[in-house]
Each structure stands twice: as C-alpha cells, then as structure tokens.
Structure 1
C-alpha cells in the first residue's frame, strides 16, 4: 500500500467557541492556482476528553492534495471547558460555521461543504448535521454531507440500562437523555448523504450497530454508504496503519468530489 506525500498550503486561525473561548481551526488547501472543488471540516476523536485538531492533520493534507479544502477543528473537552456533550456539539456547530466563512472566501458555497471526523468527533459531526441547533442564536450552517471514520454512538439503545446510566454520567447529561444522542434515533428523511468507514473488529463501536444505522438511513430514503475494512480495529484509518490510510482518503475524496464538487 502506498503512502502519498501531500502537496498543499497550510494555515491556522482561532475561532470563538460557543462560550466565547478560542479554539483552533487548521486549514489545508490545494496549492496556489488550484481552486478547491469541495470542502470538509473534521473533528478529532478521544472520547470527548482527549485529542486535538492536529490529530486529523494528515488526513486533511491528503484531501487538500486531491483538490479539497480541508479543515481540522478543536472543541472544548469534558473537564477542560466543556461541562457536557452539549458544549462539544455547540462548538462543532460554531466550527462548521467558521469553516464555511473560510470556504466562502475561496469560492465554495455551503452546498459544497461537508463535515465529519473520527470516533467521538464523527459522532459530534453527525449529531450536528442531523439535528437543528438548540437555540435561535446558535450557528446553523448545516452540512451537505458527512464522512464518519469509525464513528461512536450509532445505536446507543443497544447498551444495557446500567451502561446507559454510566455513559450519561460520563458525558454530563441527565438520566434518560442518552438516547437523544443515538444516531439511529436521529434518522429522518432528508438527512445529508453519509459515508462511513468502519472496521469489522472495532472494539469501541460494534460493526453490527453501524450496519443497523446504515440500514435505517437507507430505509428512510437517505444515502448512507458503509465501507467495511475486514479485521480492522478502532483507529485503523491513521497513517501509521499503512494498510488502510490511503484507501480511506481515496474513497473520501471520491465521495466528496462526486457529490459536492463545483462544476
């Protein structure tokens, strides 16, 4: 399996989180003279308690080398500015809005922009894309598509009650609210197209839960493509796993350019 050397321009800025604090947004774009044809902003994993925008920089470099404007954004973490998962989702919405502003300067409208991420970050991006903002003052840019790399939270109803209560405490929400964040419960006709990359031996999110979510999306008339990686475990898509990194980025770029590219 090859590992490509990406050619792109890199920059960074700070954007305001939902509480007014500053968070990083890393920008990766095609080399000068090559206008981007689509865009995506990604959010890192880390169980909402760890990780940084740098984590998905290798993915963004590869996407930029394929003609896609890519961003990797931070969000407040639990115990480090975020009181609950709701704060994380609010920050993701603001990051998507800021990315849309950056993209507009480069000639990309909202209809050419996607969001996504890895693990918990993929879950946050999907929730933000599949639900309206909680208040009329929150950013509401939306996403024209979603790319989810080994997403968490596909079917939280599959957890037993004790595990659900434990997860509610961990993410700072009231008892009984966990199902509100289960992606399968958010499926409605008109959800944005979604591409999911998942390993069949994922130890964090069982492949069966992801398949159930995919099937629910399709039954509702939505496009949802699940690419399965045989025997791959959680986090299989990073560049230190040369078996899959380029395949994941090739499929992601093709998905984005096929559905969102400027003509």
Structure 2
C-alpha cells in the first residue's frame, strides 16, 4: 500500500492504450563513445502528451538500459514517450561518478531532441530513474556542472525518482567512506553530490516513490528531503510503500509495479500534459 504524503490537488484520468512502438537509439557519451537509449512510444497514430527519460540503478557499477524497459513500456501505453538510457559504469568505461553524471546530462539532451521531433517541448518532459539512476537524474536537474555557477536549467520540467539516495551525509562515517570509494568520489567531497544540499526555490517538481523498509536509502533521509523541498516552496510528492525494501518497484512478487506505474503516469500527465 502506498501512503500519499504531499501532492498538488489534481484529478487525472489515465487511459491505457494499446501496445506501443519500441526502437533502439544511441547517444554520444562524454568520452565520444556510443551509449544505448531504448525508446518506447504510444501506439501508431497516437500523439504522446508527455515524456520521460529514465536511468537504471546498480550503484553506478552494474545494470543496463534494459532494467527499466518494463516501466517505460507500460508508460508508453499511457500516452507517454518514455526512454531508458544506459550510461558508462564505474569499473568499466567510467572512472568515477562525474563520468556517469556527464552521460546523464548528454542523455537528457539527446532525449530532448528526440522528443521535439515528436512534438513535445521541454515543458512536457521529465527525467528520472531508480536508485543510483534516480540520484543521477536529481543531480543533473539540481547541481551545476561547474560550481560555483548558478543551478543549471534542468532541461526537463519534472523529476521522478524511485528509491533514490538524496542525502549522502546522512550515512555513518564508515558507510560514507565506502560510498565515496564505490562511487569514485574523492574523500570529503560527498557534499558536492548530495541533492539535499542543492535544494533551492525553483527546483523542478518531483515525485519520489520509496519503501519504508529501504535498507540502502532509509526512508528518513527521503522524508527530510521532501520537507526541505516544500519549505523552499517547491512541489515534492513522496509516496511511501509500507514495508517495501529497496528496488521494490520492479515486476514480480513485491506486487508494487502496477501502483508505481499508475502513480508515475498520473504525476506526468497531471503536471506536464495539463500545463
């Protein structure tokens, strides 16, 4: 069961369409290599009314664009142009978290171009992802590429994050040391990648979906992030899934996949398609 903690009042009708179209795409990474982006569109003849590009989880060290394909496929059936993007992984082509963030920014730019060809401008588009991918989407939308420049224009109008890490400094010193090492963050610089530190008035609206028993990103840090966002005058919706653990949102026995898709579609259609 999901518990709604904050949301703009809106009534949205989600219409399930027939099976959509799927196609592969590629975008250029920051190092010049080609990275995959899987595209999912409404059925032939149906005009998308909103769009989202999503980034997979895997602690920046594993995973692929296929990971969120089920989510994108279902969103396309709701009239949403959805894409699942890969990015270079640490320990393989990426040296550190900065490489992953650079790829996420480039993926968003590529998605914006693809969406424009389908009649969607940036006011109808969102980014998002799962776990580390959700963190990448938040960083790309909230943190300037070259500090201390002002916060960047995110390129997208909203962010949807599934069980993301939002407060890197909420961990114990030992946990933080391991996190920095795994993500290729120089010691003592985790604050530069912690979304809660970059909450400012004017951050894009956000939907966060999180399990109350998440063992990787405890629900307390996400509640604090939500509170800070709202206090700054931003719109932030937090859906809590009772007793759900990390990565609760995939198809399978956890049983939350349909609810996650419903909430995501309602958020995208309510915030973006209605504007």
Q: TM-score range by the shorter chain?
A: over 0.9
Kindly report which structure 2 residues correspond to 1:45-124, keeping only aligned pairs within 5 A, or say none.
45-124=57-136
Post-superposition CA distance 1:52-72 (Å, at most 9, x none): 000000000000000000000
User: 1:217-232 counterparts in 2 under 5 A?
Assistant: 217-232=229-244
| Residue number among 177, 187, 206 corresponding to 2:218 in the alignment | 206
Q: What is the alpha-carbon distance in structure 1 between the residues aligned to residue 274 and residue 130 of structure 2?
A: 26
Q: CA deviation at 1:242?
A: 5.7
The residue number in structure 2 matching 1:147 is 160
1:1-60, Cα deviation, whole Å (9 max, x unpaired):
9xx996110001111001101100000000111100000000000000000000000000
The 1:233–1:6 alpha-carbon spacing in structure 2 relative to 1, beyond 3 Å, is farther
Change (3 A) 1:111 1:177: same
Runs of 4+ in 1 over 6 A off after TM superposition: none
> Contact 2:248 / 2:254 at 8 angstroms: preserved in 1?
no
> What is residue 188 of structure 1 aligned with on the other side?
200
Q: Distance in 2 between matches of 1:134 and 1:88?
A: 15
Separation in 1, partners of 2:215, 2:41: 34
Residue matched to 1:256: 268
Distance 1:57 1:5 in 2: 17
Alignment partner of 1:215: what SS? Answer: helix
Q: CA RMSD in A?
A: 2.0
* Runs (5+) with no aligned partner, structure 2: 2-15
From the superposition, tell whether residues 205 and 21 of structure 1 become closer, same or farther in structure 2 (CA, over 3 Å): same
SS at 2:26 equivalent: strand
Distance (whole Å) between structure 1 residues aligned to residue 154 and residue 174 of structure 2 = 36
Asked whether the 8 Å contact 1:131–1:186 carries over to 2, the reply is yes
The aligned residue for residue 24 of structure 1 is 36
How many residues get paired? 258
| Structure 1 residue 134 displacement after superposition | 2.9
Q: What CA distance in whole angstroms lies between the structure 2 residues aligned with 1:58 and 1:86?
A: 28
Question: Which of 36, 44, 47 in structure 1 is aligned with 2:48?
Answer: 36
**TM-score between both structures, scaled by the size of structure 2:** 0.89
Question: C-alpha displacement at 1:166, in angstroms?
Answer: 2.6
State the distance in 1 between where 2:253 and 2:153 align.
36
Deviation at 1:165, TM superposition (A): 2.5
Give secondary structure in 1 for the equivalent of 2:38.
Answer: strand
Q: Deviations over 1:173-225 (max 9, x none)?
A: 22211111111111111100000000000111100111011001000000110
Q: 1:23 to 1:118 in 2, by over 3 A?
A: same
Q: TM-score, normalised by structure 1?
A: 0.93
1:166 aligns with 2:178: yes
8 Å CA contact retained: 2:17, 2:79: no
1:103-131 per-position Cα deviation (integer Å, ceiling 9, x unaligned): 00000001111000000000000010112
